[in-house]
Amino acid sequence: MQPSSNRPPDQHSESAEELAESRLTRAPAPVIDAIMARLGLARESDEPEGDALKLARDLADPSWKIRIQATQRLGKIGKKAPLELLLVALNDQHDSVRAAAARALGRNPRPAAISALVKALSDKEWVVRTEAALALGQMGERAPLEALLSATRDQDAAVRAAAHQALGEVGAQSTLEPLGIALQDEDWSVREAAALALGRLDEHDALPVLLDARQDRDPAVSKAAETTLRRFDSGSFASLPPPSDSFAQWLERIRSPQRYLANSEEQFAGTSIYSWHGQQPAPLARPVTREKARRHRQLSALFNWSRRVAHVAEGLLAAVLIACLLIAWLIISSQTRTTPVQVGSSNASPAFTTYRGHDSSVENVAWAPDGQTMASADTRGTVRIWQASTGHTLQVYPHFGRALALTWSNINTLLVAYAEPNQSLQVQQYIIGPYPSIELLFQQTSLAAIPAVAAWASDNQTLAFDAGDGIVRIWNITANLNITSFQEKHAQYTELRWSPDNNQVAALSTTGQVQLWDAYTGQHITTLESDQFASLVIWVASSQKSSELLFASTNGTIMRWWYNYTSQEQKVYPFLAKQVYNIASSGYLSVSALALSPDRAQLLLATSDGLVQARDALSGNLIYIYTGHSAQVNDITWGPDRQHIATASMDTTVQIWQEQ
């Protein structure tokens, strides 16, 4: 649908009525059909819903009407519909198919579709953005508020209205402010949507703006406000005059962190919301339920108590601070000289725990979410579970295949992806605790080759793995759902890395090429354009607009790679020269592992001599060196406390340590 204001008028001598009579009445059915089809409301065919293969075929049909019908059928299948097909439809060239796919995803909300729907919020067509916003509103607590808030500023009124409707569906308290602001939107349909959405929040702080909206210049908005007011309290608010304070005052109050206290104190002191506006209390019939009143009183009491505690804590904190400063001064003044960072010395602590249970090089290590239990895998395929604090072995799981990736799905469940010699990939689930169990959770057989790499997304249930012949498959293991796959023919991969937002996968091939792929659509995003080839790659950041990665080049330089999705511009520049970090040896050193701290401030760089250097992630300056390992470090991972670090090494140990 292109705006057509620039088109010249048809040259004709007919009046509009003649034209209408002659052209419009001749074949109204196709026009109506087109409208209904575009809305995904076309008459149902007698065709059965069809299997995935038939649906996939229909989704590739040249006719958009067939594709939209297939999307409709996918929507009717419900949550069993292959997500991959819906995501294909969401990327269709026809806006109505994309919109229908978003609608189908909204009717059967699945968290795995969130990122694709967020992307659809940037679609060029308003109807797709509208449906995507509505679908995201169905995701409940998982709905990405930031993306929806951004959609509330869309240039199209229908999208803004849908985004506000979605915020109302989510029902989070934080949506009160944007919904209140939307009541000032220039477009009546947005104001109307906001007035209706406020009714879903069950927030009495919305009353002043709703009472104001009752006086809106557009009758549709005032009607919507009245409908919502009736939902609040059987219509007793609907008869009240508008409040006296301005919208700016309301906004100020809403933004105040103490509004809950003020609200509860004022509302439950036997006055109405109008006493807050400085008006005479108006008698209200049960402004809130008894249960709500009790909750607010508890909240109020809690707030008063916490305020008193805060006063005492402030005093204590000041005293502790002074004591700390004094001790620090004493320590500094007692030292004869500062200790420069030298090879062989470190200001990292000695290892708290050194786990020596493995009898071969340790390849991977993973912390349980509680930070108490560790899992590590060696080159023989043996997985060991042990206590982080003592190094005591809890379980040993020998396995014939090679463990490619470990993740904890909860504090007592470990998932391990194994590459099997018979060219298959298996995911075993190990449950530890008083009733340990092993279960084969997932298996992919007859792959083109033995998988070389696999990587878990940070959701701990989505796995990207190399299926041979350059194919990478992405599966949600918990749902047993093939999300997508992509292929760079004949490529052999040495690393797969998920972006921090889980939307993309960086694939590093043995030729040193790095490619970024969309993890939900399987679309190729970009290829590293550099005269340098990579031997290791990690993500620094990812967003809808740009991505930043670090890679170790085959000539030893650590490079930064920045890519902008809009302009498709990329920048590659050196971050750390080999000569800078190659401080321990005059011989050849390679980078064996890279890891960024959770706050992205520190880069840990492991070299083939077993040293781990901590460097400022921005300047590259050396902060300290950890010297606990006697051979190359293969894997580095931060603990859930964001302070302790676990390193797995070829010296067959796993060590847990922290910066001193």
Q: Which residue has the tokens 């189908």?
A: 104
| Member of 107, 223, 277, 292 binding another protein (CB under 8 A) | 223
Q: Does 515 bind another protein (CB under 8 A)?
A: no
Q: Which residue has the tokens 């944007």?
A: 178
Strand partners, 597: none
Contacts for 503 with CB less than 8 Å, ≥ 6 apart:
115, 119, 518, 519, 520, 542
Secondary structure class of 506 (helix, strand, coil):
strand
Give the nearest distance from C-beta 560 to another protein in angstroms.
44
Region of 84-92, 213-221, 344-352, 604-612 interacting with another protein (CB under 8 A) = 213-221
* Binding pattern for the stretch 125-144 against another protein, x by CB under 8 A and - elsewhere: --x--x---x----------
Do residues 96 and 64 lie in contact, with contact meaning Cβ atoms separated by under 8 Å?
yes
Q: State the CB neighbour count (10 A cutoff) for residue 479.
A: 15
Give the nearest distance from C-beta 178 to another protein in angstroms.
17
Q: Does 227 bind another protein (CB under 8 A)?
A: yes
Strands 362-367 and 471-476: what pairing? unpaired
User: 375, exposed or middle or buried, with CB in 10 Å at 0-12, 13-18, 19+?
Assistant: buried
Nearer to another protein, 216 or 378 (CB): 216
| Of the candidates 575, 478, 584, 579, the residue with the CA atom closest to the CA atom of residue 536 | 575
| Member of 138, 152, 165, 175 binding another protein (CB under 8 A) | 165
Q: Does 322 bind another protein (CB under 8 A)?
A: no
**Checking phi first, is residue 322 left (phi over 0); if not, alpha (psi -120 to 50) or beta?**
alpha
| Of the candidates 256, 258, 263, the residue with the CA atom closest to the CA atom of residue 303 | 258
User: 394, exposed or middle or buried, with CB in 10 Å at 0-12, 13-18, 19+?
Assistant: middle
The conformation of residue 280, written as its DSSP 8-state character, comes to P
* Sheet with strand 353-355: strands edge to edge: 353-355, 654-657, 645-649, 633-638
| Member of 118, 157, 362, 645 binding another protein (CB under 8 A) | 157
Q: Does 4 bind another protein (CB under 8 A)?
A: yes
Give the nearest distance from C-beta 15 to another protein in angstroms.
5
Q: Does 189 bind another protein (CB under 8 A)?
A: yes
* Binding pattern for the stretch 87-126 against another protein, x by CB under 8 A and - elsewhere: ----------------------------------------
Give the nearest distance from C-beta 538 to another protein in angstroms.
43
Give the nearest distance from C-beta 21 to another protein in angstroms.
9
Give the nearest distance from C-beta 108 to another protein in angstroms.
16
CA 382 to CA 353: how far, in whole Å? 20
Do residues 452 and 466 lie in contact, with contact meaning Cβ atoms separated by under 8 Å?
yes
Give the nearest distance from C-beta 237 to another protein in angstroms.
17
Give the nearest distance from C-beta 18 to another protein in angstroms.
8
| Member of 49, 57, 173, 219 binding another protein (CB under 8 A) | 219
**Checking phi first, is residue 58 left (phi over 0); if not, alpha (psi -120 to 50) or beta?**
alpha
| Member of 13, 26, 28, 334 binding another protein (CB under 8 A) | 28
Give the nearest distance from C-beta 488 to another protein in angstroms.
40
Give the nearest distance from C-beta 104 to another protein in angstroms.
14
| Member of 31, 317, 320, 343 binding another protein (CB under 8 A) | 31
Do residues 267 and 288 lie in contact, with contact meaning Cβ atoms separated by under 8 Å?
yes
Q: Does 313 bind another protein (CB under 8 A)?
A: no
Binding site for another protein (CB under 8 A): 1-5, 7, 9-10, 12, 15-20, 23-25, 28, 31-32, 34-36, 38-39, 41, 127, 130, 134, 157-158, 161-162, 165, 187-189, 192-193, 196, 217-220, 223-224, 227
